[in-house]
Amino acid sequence: MAQKFSEDGAEFAESPDSSRPLAPNRQESLHPTLNPSLTKIPVTPGISLGAYHSDGGGDSPSYFPHNINQRRETTAQSPSDAASGAKSNQEILRRMSLTGGRMRQDSINEIDPRASNESLNLSGGIISATFCIPHSLQYRKGADWGLSSRRGTSALFDSFTYLSSDKTPWNHTLVGWTGEITPADDLTPPDTPPTTTIDPRIRPLNKNSAPIPLDGFAKPVEPSQSEGLFISKEDRATLERQLAHDKNCRTVPVWLSDDSEPGQHGGLVLKDQARWRRFAEHELYTLFHYKQHEPTNGRAERHSWADYYRMNQKFANRILELYKPGDIVMIHDYHLLLLPSMLRQRIPHMYIAFFLHVPFPSSEFLRCLPRRKDVLEGVLGANLIGFQSFSYSRHFVSCCTRILGFPSDVAGVDAYGAKVVVGVFPIGIDAATVEKLAFDAENIDKQVLKLKKMYEGKKIIVGRDRLDTVRGVAQKLMAFERFLELYPEWRDKVVLIQVTSPTSIEEEKEDSSNKIANKVSELVAKINGLYGSLSFSPVQHYPQYLSQTEYLALLRAADIGLITSVRDGMNTTSLEYVVCQRDGHGPLILSEFSGTAGSLKDAIHINPWDLSGVATQLNYALTMSEDKKHAMHQSLYHHVTNRNVQAWSNGFIKRLLVVLNSHNATVATPLLDKALLLTQYRAAKKRLFMFDYDGTLTPIVKDPKSAIPSERVIRTLKALAADHQNAVWIISGRDQDFLQEHLGHIDELGFSAEHGSFMRHPGTKDWINLAEQFDMSWQSEVLDCFKKYTEKTPGSFIERKRCALTWHYRPADPELGAHMARECQKELERTVGKKWDVEVMQGKANLEVRPTFINKGEIAKRLVDDYGVEEGEPPEFTLCLGDDFTDEDMFRALNGSKLKTEHVFTVTVGASNKMTLAHWHLLEPKDVISSVALLNGGNTDVADLGPLAVVEGKIPDQMPGQKIPDELPGGKL
């Protein structure tokens, strides 16, 4: 029977109902007022004592493991509440344990967060998303799956167990990938031979029935990689049932594979399972740890990106199957950076938190990532983003400003009308459980004594790391060599026990030349050759996994813990070492590049690249007085045991609730869902496109005459307009001459110039003047006003159009230009604006005056009316893109039209914190071209394979749509 442990490490008594912790075993002693003669008297009329005793089953079924309302009713709010009605000390302690032993006045938030956050309408459910579930899986066809604990990220898995326990008010569900599934070894002999086993002395009646001799050492033949592993629908259901009843955490698996093909009857074929982690671990993990690849042709990266994108989309689909309004979604680590935005696209009001467990690099490194914008915009879909240390959060907000152009400060990032808050939440460990495991088992005590006897008379330095480049094992060995060189008095008196476990990172596994392992082996041999003897080696290197017993015994036996990682997130070995040194008080030497360094301020911090400095600190730790060691360890121990994984989980959720309460009314405009866009595009027979020009198809430039469309833009528009089912319009504030000169050669395009004053239909050369009946006498007064402010503002100039006048001040001093624009606008509104039916509009570094009835919204209405709105008539797909406030008229017109909401995509373009009527956003003109190329070819080099792979269920062999040949010499852009 499983045992329950409290946060302070006390072992609770076993009970048939293991869902609730009980008080520690002790002799029962009743308070006089709790005598059964007094307490076993029902005091409520009509209710017997039996009504107060729950059988734990409940009549009403619940989707989640426990009911939040029951918890609030049965949880003690204060010590007096705990004692009220209790029949024994056990019962009092049991009630108090439900609040973690803290009887605070603000405990209502922990008991039922819904009561203290009524405006959020919380459901009480939390859905956690992590890349892999806590189990490694073995597939047994037609039988229960083999489940074993997955190595690594133990602190994170402990947090899931805690959130799923009765110590929290939350109904918790974990969503994660199955990980690489391996088939079980079917050749394992049974314990009892079957009765049909033939005695080898008896000759069989039929020689064909004779046993076939097998090589007992030969491995079973594995299916080829091309065949893959087939998992039937029934076996998938079996695993899902097993995980749903997991004793630690209700788990829902995400199945990653190409979409099922006909004839598979709902089954899956798993091929190249490692590909789902390839982009994250080849591109993101390495860059986040300040490592760069040699440049390649990019083909492999595009395919791995498509798998990464599709994997995040499958996570989003799985979460949405479970999600209920009011649920909190908590997303973990770099494998799922796109997931916050994907969920925000589907449910704009969802409560989302994201936590990054690895370092986040500076903008100089992140700029090297081709998908840098996608990664940043993906994670900005969260309400709260958590990091291990302040430097990581500072790098993140800096990247959002320098790469995306979003305003930011130390508190967060302003992204499309909403504040995305960032915070620092150093993760902890389940310290009470670690301490109990380390000190309450006799076999560990024996192991500790055995280790101390083995190295009697010597100081033991312990290191335990994964064998990859960021853990600094080579630096540790070189520093130890330097230590023995500088301090010869310690030779033969100190031993370094270094345990290296295999790396879990895909790229490090594929190190064909095994450079890291070879370097470590060479250093170990060198040190032992220089400073060892036949009877003693100063470095004991064990490249293997340790059992839990061996590991904890090693940490207890150590005199010094040495961690020299060159770039790390939260190193939990350092935290476990502090707990295991409860009695020994051994100093901890910790790399300043570890995410733990900011939390463990009383550890001895070192720079692993400074070998002499590390050697000096080793000598300092070895010669430290007992009082000093005790004081240092006492501070570290207090931190680790109080800032444990339970406190981390509670703190992160509390911070999210504060953020949600302060920003509950704001909703960010989500990133354009390209997969949804492509799906609707393919389903439609007639499609309408409306593009603004400046800031949408081309970047904003100082000189408006320099905003010339690139060959990439022209080629993409040609491919789009060449499809007879597409009606493509450019709706711009530019005049006719400019549009005619640069885009007029594309006969299939339609044009609207000067914000709707003129129109040219596709296939014609004639312009229609929609403002010819309007009196333009107002222009002379506006021109005089503009001339006056042009003289006051050096660098500004006037642009004359047929139906509008524009004053540009982008080349002028920014502050002076903005000030003069405000003054000019006030003057025009007082004079011309009252005499004529015109409007004065503030644009991007310009001021424009035009007739009131002329705007882009009227053109949008006209185009929709031309195509019809009846059922079955076009447009069945409408895409409208623009970047400034004049384009809001189009968004307003389309939002108010009779078109189906799912058929209309209004997209604002540009990096700002503006409020908009558009339903989606894109960052810059380059993203507009990428999205259009995805729909109908044009430029396949810039189209995103990720959304296409989501729609088609696999990575396509080629891009769809009409291909337009390159128009530059050499065939390359």
- Give the model's confidence band at 32: pLDDT under 50 very low, under 70 low, under 90 confident, else very high: very low
Q: In angstroms, rounded to a whole number, what is the distance separating the alpha carbons of residues 362 and 340?
A: 22
Q: Is the pLDDT of residue 357 over 70?
A: yes
Q: In angstroms, rounded to a whole number, what is the distance separating the alpha carbons of residues 713 and 710?
A: 5
Instruction: List CB contacts of 609: < 8 A, sequence separation 6 or more.
Output: 475, 566
Nearest-CA neighbor of 551 among 444, 428, 473?
A: 444
Q: Is the pLDDT of residue 938 over 80?
A: no
pLDDT over 90 percentage in the chain: 42
- How many other CB atoms sit within 10 Å of the CB of residue 514? 11
- Give the model's confidence band at 688: pLDDT under 50 very low, under 70 low, under 90 confident, else very high: very high
What is the residue-averaged pLDDT of the chain? 80
Q: In angstroms, rounded to a whole number, what is the distance separating the alpha carbons of residues 501 and 546?
A: 8
Q: Is 527 helix (H, G, I), strand (E, B) or coil?
A: helix
Segment 304-327 shows an average pLDDT of: 94
From 51-55, 181-185, 710-714, the region with the lowest mean pLDDT: 51-55
Helices (H), 43-88: 68-74, 79-83
Q: In angstroms, rounded to a whole number, what is the distance separating the alpha carbons of residues 77 and 43?
A: 21
Q: Read off the tokens for 745.
A: 């050669």
Instruction: List CB contacts of 794: < 8 A, sequence separation 6 or more.
Output: 812, 813
Nearest-CA neighbor of 462 among 357, 578, 569?
A: 578
Q: Is 829 helix (H, G, I), strand (E, B) or coil?
A: helix
Segment 430-439 shows an average pLDDT of: 92
Residue 89: its pLDDT value, please? 55
Q: Read off the tokens for 885.
A: 């406030």
Instruction: Provide the whole-model pTM.
Output: 0.75
Give the best-scoring range by mean pLDDT among 31-35, 63-67, 293-297, 961-965: 293-297
Q: In angstroms, rounded to a whole number, what is the distance separating the alpha carbons of residues 702 and 846?
A: 11
Q: Is the pLDDT of residue 330 over 90?
A: yes
Q: Read off the tokens for 453.
A: 């006897």
Q: Using one digit for the tens of pLDDT, what is the confidence trace for 256-280?
A: 998 766 556 778 889 889 889 999 9
Segment 467-475 shows an average pLDDT of: 84
User: Residue 700 burial (CB < 10 Å; 0-12/13-18/19+)?
Assistant: middle
Phi-psi region of 756 (alpha: psi -120 to 50; beta: other; left: phi over 0): left
Q: In angstroms, rounded to a whole number, what is the distance separating the alpha carbons of residues 41 and 49?
A: 8
Widest Cα–Cα separation across the chain: 118
Q: In angstroms, rounded to a whole number, what is the distance separating the alpha carbons of residues 850 and 856?
A: 12
Q: Is the pLDDT of residue 487 over 80?
A: yes
Nearest-CA neighbor of 233 among 222, 225, 223, 241?
A: 241
Q: Read off the tokens for 31.
A: 């308070």
Q: Using one digit for the tens of pLDDT, what is the confidence trace for 733-779?
A: 888 888 988 898 998 999 998 878 888 999 888 888 877 767 778 88
**Residue type at 950?**
V
Q: What is the DSSP-derived secondary structure letter of residue 11?
A: B
Q: Read off the tokens for 187.
A: 């050749």
pLDDT over 70 percentage in the chain: 78
Q: Read off the tokens for 216.
A: 């007992």
Nearest-CA neighbor of 952 among 309, 370, 345, 381?
A: 309
Give CA separation, 138 vs 141, 174, 179, 235, 255, in Å: 10, 20, 10, 12, 15
Residue 579: its pLDDT value, please? 94
Q: Using one digit for the tens of pLDDT, what is the confidence trace for 862-904?
A: 898 887 655 557 688 999 999 888 888 899 999 988 888 999 9
- Give the model's confidence band at 607: pLDDT under 50 very low, under 70 low, under 90 confident, else very high: very high
76, containing H or E segment? none
